[in-house]
Structure 1
Amino acid sequence: MDALNDVLASIRAKGGELVVISPQLPRHSLELIEGHGLGFDILYDQNLSLSDTFGLTFTLSEALAALYLSFGIDLPEANGTDDWRLPMPARYVMNEEGLILHAEVNPDYTRRPEPAEILKLL
């Protein structure tokens, strides 16, 4: 977590703030925050409504849902929904007025931008 704390400090040094938005129920996010000592908030996207607004949601196939369950991951329980939907990972850089200055969405959740790329945008 030291690397994450370093990135968070760099974001804040540039006047920014990191905000995470998740479809997970708040109790699960709180466990994550407390369990890993995260220094930022995780906001709750109830029923994936914000993700839907941005066109980010997709539904897992039955086979993939079964695979998730085999690993003990129950998305409907974790998200408080009746379905197997997830948002694609997305990163937005916004100014203080809420104007989106940069947006990046990649359906491949394994491809994430390097923190240095985001820091350049700030």
Structure 2
Amino acid sequence: MSTTPATIGAQIAEFNVGFTETIGPELSAVFAGEQADLRAAGGPENAVSVGDVLPSAELVATSGSPIGLDGLLAGRPAVLVFYRGAWCPYCNITLRHYDKTLAPGLAERGVSLIAISPQTPDGSAAAVTNGELGFTVVSDPANAFAGALGIVTAPSAEAQDAHTALGFAVKDSNADDTPAIPYPTVIVVGADRVVRFVDIHIDYTTRTETADILAAVDAR
């Protein structure tokens, strides 16, 4: 008998318990400190907001072929999900959750679901394969689109050192060989490309819940 998946917040809370035990107190303290610093710094200035019109953007499909934002939107309303990369467990939890709980509701409403990250097309393909995702996932080389929306950040130097200790580097996953990543962000945009809803998460361990996104879509 199938059951409705728990909220993203509940899944992340459960994940964090095991993750902390796995990586140990020293690395856990590094990531906790980074999250505290991000919350203290507050949101990015001049970030995309409700009423803005999305700029044009050149993105890349998992096949490696370029695709413009206009082609992706195809004159339809859409939900854009900016995520850090397939290396981020919080992103993977979120994307899998959206595939099960959000994508079907959006399809019923004629709304596209598009996930965007700065990683290589191979990284985007890995996110699709590992998460068994049925919606569109594309790359944003050099964070050009995310940068135009004012939602780009980067892991702290201490966090990057912690990533290295765990056996990977964010820059190795990105198409431009830098550690720049977007703040986890959900944008609801109308068929006219006007932004109807924005939710930027400064603390990357929190994400926008499906119910909030569907409510924003229905209110457009």
Q: Flag whether TM exceeds 0.5 (same fold).
A: yes
In structure 2, distance between residues paired with 1:100 and 1:2: 23
Q: Does structure 2 conserve the Cα–Cα contact (< 8 Å) formed by 1:92 and 1:101?
A: yes
The structure having more radius of gyration, on CA atoms, is 2
Q: What are structure 1's unaligned runs of at least 5 residues?
A: none
How many pairs does the alignment contain? 122
Deviation of the 1:2 alpha carbon? 7.4
Task: Give the TM-score normalised by structure 2.
Answer: 0.52
Cα–Cα, structure 1 residues 6 and 57, in superposed 2: closer, same or farther, change >3 Å? Answer: closer
Q: Does structure 1 conserve the Cα–Cα contact (< 8 Å) formed by 2:117 and 2:181?
A: no
Which residue does 1:48 correspond to in 2?
143
Which residue does 1:121 correspond to in 2?
216
Q: Which SS does the other structure have where 2:203 is aligned?
A: coil
Task: Decide which of 202, 210, 218 is 1:107's aligned counterpart.
Answer: 202
Deviation of the 1:89 alpha carbon? 0.8
Task: Decide which of 63, 88, 93 is 2:158's aligned counterpart.
Answer: 63
Tell me the amino acid that sits aligned with residue 207 of structure 2: R
Deviation of the 1:22 alpha carbon? 0.6
Task: Decide which of 56, 80, 104 is 1:9's aligned counterpart.
Answer: 104
Cα RMSD (Å): 1.7
Q: Which SS does the other structure have where 1:80 is aligned?
A: coil
Q: What are structure 2's unaligned runs of at least 5 residues?
A: 1-95
Sequence identity (%): 23
- The CA deviation string for residues 46-99 of structure 1, in whole angstroms up to 9 with x for no partner, is 011111111111132221111111122311110032322211011100111211
Alignment of 1:82 with 2:177, yes or no, is yes
Which residue does 1:21 correspond to in 2?
116
Tell me the amino acid that sits aligned with residue 151 of structure 2: L
Tell me the amino acid that sits aligned with residue 16 of structure 1: V
In structure 2, distance between residues paired with 1:23 and 1:3: 19
- The CA deviation string for residues 7-36 of structure 1, in whole angstroms up to 9 with x for no partner, is 211111122111111111011111221233
In structure 2, distance between residues paired with 1:8 and 1:19: 10
In structure 2, distance between residues paired with 1:63 and 1:37: 32
